[in-house]
Amino acid sequence: MNILIVYFSLEGNTDYAAGKIAEAVGGDTLRLFTKKAYIDQGFSRFVWGGKSAVMAEKPELEPYDVDLGAYEMIVLGFPVWAFTFAPPLRTFIEENRNILNKKPLAAFACQSGMGAERSFAELKKCIGIADFVAEAVFIDPKAKQKEDTDKKIETFSLILKTLV
């Protein structure tokens, strides 16, 4: 199975889910990092992160080295910010749209409140695709570790394995 999980994580929730999925499917991970770090403490993180998401910013990413063509499926993971996906994913999509359009894509969102469904719609529009082969929403998987959340991650992973 040849699955790559590409994700951005600020507080560790998306990183937690991506790690669990990669372990379950035997896939690789590519964690995106921005050159200029987002504020990750206090109320300011919501203000600046939300502004960045609403304004559809494309922050510069730290260099990454991956051959997307070598993977059968790509899974995109992100935290929900202001009812949309985190901006570093927007940058990654812009840099790799031609390859992403030709691959089966799945996506998962990590959130504390709501907005994942709208985030998926925005993400599809950004990539230029009609649908994902699979989608999942996880509520604070690291911050509020619960057996049912881990079970949802496991179920999503099993679905991915059947698709490749």
Distance in angstroms (rounded) separating the CA atoms of residues 118 and 96:
22
Q: How far is CA 148 from CA 93, 119, 124, 131, 145, in A?
A: 31, 23, 27, 26, 9
Contact between residue 110 and residue 141 where contact means Cβ atoms under 8 Å apart: yes
Quick one: pLDDT at residue 1? 53
pLDDT in tens, 62-121: 999 999 999 999 999 999 977 788 899 999 999 999 999 999 999 999 988 777 898 999
Give domain limits for the chain: 3-163
Superfamily of chain region 3-163: Flavodoxin domain (3.40.50.360)
Quick one: pLDDT at residue 44? 45
pLDDT in tens, 41-64: 544 444 444 445 555 567 889 999
- Residue 130, classed as helix, strand or coil, is coil
Amino acid at 3: I
